[in-house]
A and B are shown apart, each in its own frame.
Chain A
């Protein structure tokens, strides 16, 4: 059978899009600073390999109202929709959330809650969080990592956590660099496109989703049990 593959948006071969999702809402936001440093390092690493990187930032704070509406109505609109579309088109993602009440920010989780289940499939992601105390250090791996496993993203082996004292720790820059190097390697390899290009049709998708807005019949998989049943065939037993 032919498995419909995800149409790859045209990008110059030596150019990649990095998108930062920042759940921090203060100004300046330490989450934003952390994500910014990872993004800068990622761009540097990519450039060393002769690859240009553009970085866009999705600030969740100004979208908070729209995110809440979308949770209730089920339909993201306007600027939120634009943000989700840019995330869908990203080659690599850096997420950053503050830790509130021993967990990731509710705003950040709400944003992820409204994404299509297939939006981040095989997308390289750096997971990062900031907190007021080092006692929250495991929030990233305890909460963000399972969340992005559900989304079937590709989190880098290194996640980055920053408590206040980390900003003065020389080892901190090393962790940022390590995560950035991992992300750059994954992004440069186009591993996400290699995966979705082969087996995109094997994942579950909802019709009219953001990743595949082109709902023409030439990209829909008609070779399924349900489609055969729709056209007079027998139900799968």
Chain B
């Protein structure tokens, strides 16, 4: 099982000092947080995607590629990549590129995004958000699996003879999680393709997302990818930890009280009790996280939100020390002790390569020669399927 952190990249005033970090400071902090996450033994760092202030993360692959160069082990991911307002062709290209640079330590979570104006800024319409997300993924899926793609859909210009470059590392696409909080069609798509399903597990009552996760598990089995318990589930959560429970509440309270994402008519204590928000001692956070397993079954990835609502970098790094030093080691043991032998392994590039090739060497695509007009002719790679020739659009 993988444990890590995810961030929405908000730049928020620290309510205890009145200071708002600059974009430069917050971007630098994100890098330090990711590096620290690896140092304390976490497995995953994920960053969100936003296209408006007060968020900084408009370009996740740039940030993740930089972090990849500074780390050796941690898996880099997104929370989320916008499958609606991004061109799936650009997602295919950018994430394959980042996957190469990260030597396979990269996957991604797809989400629709709920900021209404972002859609028109990118030429889209939020009212078409769901079909847009579904169609875009259908295309992305093919772009990473077929050397030559002919495609026609409703939302994007058609493709003829298109090859997304670079091909994924070892010709094994980055693992995809589909994130959703209420949409059965997204669970269905994740299940159909045998991809992962991620529930952010934030800001809702305990267990609220269980029906959607269960639906995904059932449909994963329905499509023949394995048993329901072999489905690949990721969960979010949120943690604020101190050695003594009362200190955790005391330190976190001003951030909760000012945080724009909370219903402030409900006191912090009630949130911490009735929702997946963990506030308290390491043991309390461990206990709370173990209830996620009771509710959702054995799962593959646990991510916590730890750097939001204006928490200063120093405190976030302290949280990582506690998370990596005292919480996660116990959770690894406890989760492993309870784990059903049939539960799926967490997805890694090495695991996916092994599943595809066994002990054989992975495919390493080598392009055919430039025929003089910057394309390779009817077959992009030396080992491309000759039966699937590229037919380029004709200019009339």
Contacts and interface: CB of A to CB of B under 8 A. Distances in A.
Contacts of B353: none
Contacts of A232: 138, 141, 192
B154 A207 contact: no
Contacts of B203: 73
Interface in A39-79: 68-69, 72-75, 77
Nearest to A208: B211
A6 B265 CA distance: 35
A217 B183 contact: no
B138 A68 contact: no
Contacts of B219: 217
A230 B189 contact: yes
B134 A229 contact: yes
Interface stretch (A96-104, A186-194, A219-227): A219-227
Contacts of A222: 188
Contacts of B357: none
B182 interface: yes
A234 B153 contact: yes
A11 interface: no
A2 interface: no
Contact of B192 (A73, A207, A225, A230): A230
Nearest to A68: B265
B214 interface: yes
Contacts, number: 78
A226 B266 contact: no
Contacts of B135: 229, 235
A229 B138 contact: yes
Interface in A74-102: 74-75, 77
A206 interface: yes
B188 A73 contact: no
A226 B211 contact: no
Interface string A193-209: 00000000000001110
Interface string B195-234: 0000000011100100110110011001000000000000
Contact of A227 (B153, B185, B274): B185
A223 to B, nearest CB: 12
A13 B125 CA distance: 49
Contacts of A73: 203, 263, 265-266
Interface string B107-119: 0000000000000
A73 B277 CA distance: 14
A208 B180 CA distance: 13
- Interface of B, secondary structure class, is helix
A215 interface: yes
B189 A235 contact: no
A116 B219 CA distance: 25
B386 interface: no
Given A217-B219, A220-B215, A235-B135, A226 B130 contact: yes
Nearest to B208: A75
Contacts of B274: 77
A73 B212 CA distance: 19
Contacts of A235: 131, 134-135, 153-155
Most-contacted residue by chain B among A226, A229, A231 (CB, 10 A): A229
A1 interface: no
Interface string B121-157: 0000000001100110010010000000000011100
A236 interface: yes
A217 B185 contact: no
Contacts of B183: 207
A69 B275 CA distance: 14
A230 B153 contact: no
Given A229-B131, A229-B135, A207 B212 contact: yes
A222 B219 CA distance: 11
B182 A69 contact: no
A215 B214 CA distance: 8
Contacts of B153: 234-235
Given A75-B204, A207-B182, A208-B182, A227 B212 contact: no
A135 interface: no
Interface of A: 68-69, 72-75, 77, 206-208, 213, 215-217, 220, 222, 225-227, 229-232, 234-237
Interface of B: 130-131, 134-135, 138, 141, 153-155, 182-186, 188-189, 192, 203-205, 208, 211-212, 214-215, 218-219, 222, 263, 265-266, 274
Given A215-B212, A232-B192, 9 more contacts: A69-B265, A73-B265, A207-B183, A207-B215, A215-B211, A216-B215, A229-B131, A231-B188, A235-B155
Q: 5 tightest CB-CB pairs across the interface, nearest first?
A: A215-B211, A230-B189, A235-B154, A73-B263, A229-B134
8 contacts: A68-B265, A74-B204, A77-B205, A207-B215, A229-B131, A230-B185, A231-B189, A234-B153
